[in-house]
């Protein structure tokens, strides 16, 4: 139950961090969508480990294999299965915590829920699972691109270092030109140096990923429990290490009176309806209004640090957890494609749900 997402465009991910591999099965993808293998591989490459010295040094090519659902470069309408094999497991790095509960990890909660857990890199709770989401999200991106919908995420904050510019003021094409994935080159360098200093201290730091969606038609979403922004929030909060989500004006919206916060409508020269401001973040009443959708996702500091921490083991004894293994000192640079992928999965599902409602 907990490994599936979507109503029509549905995915189910499988596999563990140190198992044979990870993968995804996609159901509900329409037939005839161009399956661009190079694009899907490029999205996985954006997420893969070992990209720079401020990411985990685990070496995985993250090359995917298609097992079903694709023929002559097109989706067939049947379930699509993709697998990514693990190549650089070092399970021995985790033998010392086989019975220990690492602070702020899922070790304790998995043990309580299941009575058993895969301690090798966190098993199913590892962020390695998100590679499967990126593969599925890349296919969703391809489908959405045919509809004119584009998704762009970027790093806007690392610790206290915050990019105080709106996305309209930034050249988002600069995002992929640095290891941090911040579109402001000067701030990106400062963030890189800061993350590197945190890494050298054996510590970790959190950050924020912003995301902008352009080209979404008005009318996607549901009016009550499956509001578009609620599903985006659920999708973001399902990503490892996420602690917060806000869309549109978010928490800052409480600073404005309604007279300033309301988005006034107008009709353009072609008869299209738009809003003069976009505090709503492109969503009103849980349904897209045709304006840009934008939101922020907050990531906590990575729980594994290269410092000794006090904890307990599964027998209730006091234990000292020693930081070992290969881990990101800051997750947000590699989280950018994950945020985009989950956004694409939400929008692809709502597109198909909206289409079916009109049949």
List, as residue ranges, the binding site for FMN: 124-126, 240-241, 285, 300-304, 326
Q: In this structure, are residues 205 and 330 in contact, taking their beta carbons and an 8 Å threshold?
A: yes
Residue list for the binding site for NADP(+)? 47, 53
SS in 3 state form for 242-262?
Answer: EEEEEECCHHHHHHCCHHHHC
Beta strands in the chain (DSSP E): 4-5, 10-15, 21-27, 64-68, 70-71, 74-75, 80-85, 150-158, 161-162, 207-214, 242-247, 265-267, 273-275, 283-284, 287-288, 293-299, 309-312, 318-321
Backbone angles phi, psi at 122, to 5 degrees: 90, -5
CA distances from 128 to 210, 227, 313 (A): 21, 29, 24
d(CA 100, CA 53): 28
Q: Who's near 61: CB < 8 A, 6+ residues apart?
A: 48, 87
d(CA 92, CA 259): 60
Residue list for the binding site? 47, 53, 124-126, 240-241, 285, 300-304, 326
**What is the SS3 assignment for 7?**
coil
Positive or negative torsion for Cα 197, 337, 243, 119: negative
Shortest CA distance to 140 belongs to which of 213, 33, 222, 65?
Answer: 33
């Amino acid at each position: 139950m907990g490994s599936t997402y979507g109503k029509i465009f549905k995915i189910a991910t499988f596999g563990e961090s140190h198992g044979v591999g990870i993968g995804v099965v996609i159901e509900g993808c329409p037939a005839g969508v161009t399956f661009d293998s190079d694009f899907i591989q490029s999205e996985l490459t954006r997420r893969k480990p070992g990209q720079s010295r401020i990411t985990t040094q685990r070496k995985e090519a993250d090359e995917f294999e298609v097992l079903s659902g694709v023929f002559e470069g097109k989706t067939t309408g049947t379930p699509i299965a993709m697998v990514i094999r693990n190549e650089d497991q070092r399970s021995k790095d985790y033998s010392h915590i086989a019975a220990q509960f690492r602070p702020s990890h899922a070790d304790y909660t998995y043990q309580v829920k299941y009575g058993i857990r895969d301690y090798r890199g966190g098993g199913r709770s590892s962020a390695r699972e998100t590679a499967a989401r990126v593969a599925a999200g890349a296919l969703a991106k391809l489908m959405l691109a045919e509809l004119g919908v584009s998704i762009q995420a970027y790093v806007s904050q690392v610790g206290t270092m915050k990019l105080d510019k709106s996305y309209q003021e930034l050249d988002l094409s600069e995002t992929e030109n640095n290891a941090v994935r911040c579109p402001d080159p000067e701030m990106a360098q400062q963030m890189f140096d800061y993350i590197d200093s945190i890494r050298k201290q054996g510590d970790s730091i959190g950050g924020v990923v912003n995301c902008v969606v352009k080209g979404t038609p008005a009318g996607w979403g549901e009016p009550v429990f499956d509001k578009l922004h609620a599903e985006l929030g659920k999708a973001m909060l399902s990503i490892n290490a996420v602690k917060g989500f806000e869309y549109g004006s978010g928490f800052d919206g409480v600073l404005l009176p309604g007279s300033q916060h309301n988005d006034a409508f107008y009709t353009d020269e072609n008869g299209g309806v738009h809003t003069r401001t976009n505090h709503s973040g492109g969503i009103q009443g849980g349904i897209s209004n045709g304006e840009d959708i934008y939101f922020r996702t907050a990531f906590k500091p990575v729980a594994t640090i290269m410092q000794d921490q006090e904890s307990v083991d599964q027998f209730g004894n006091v234990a000292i957890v020693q930081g070992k293994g290969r881990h990101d000192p800051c997750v947000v640079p590699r989280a950018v494609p994950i945020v985009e992928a989950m956004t694409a999965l939400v929008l692809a599902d709502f597109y198909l749900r909206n289409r079916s409602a009109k049949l």
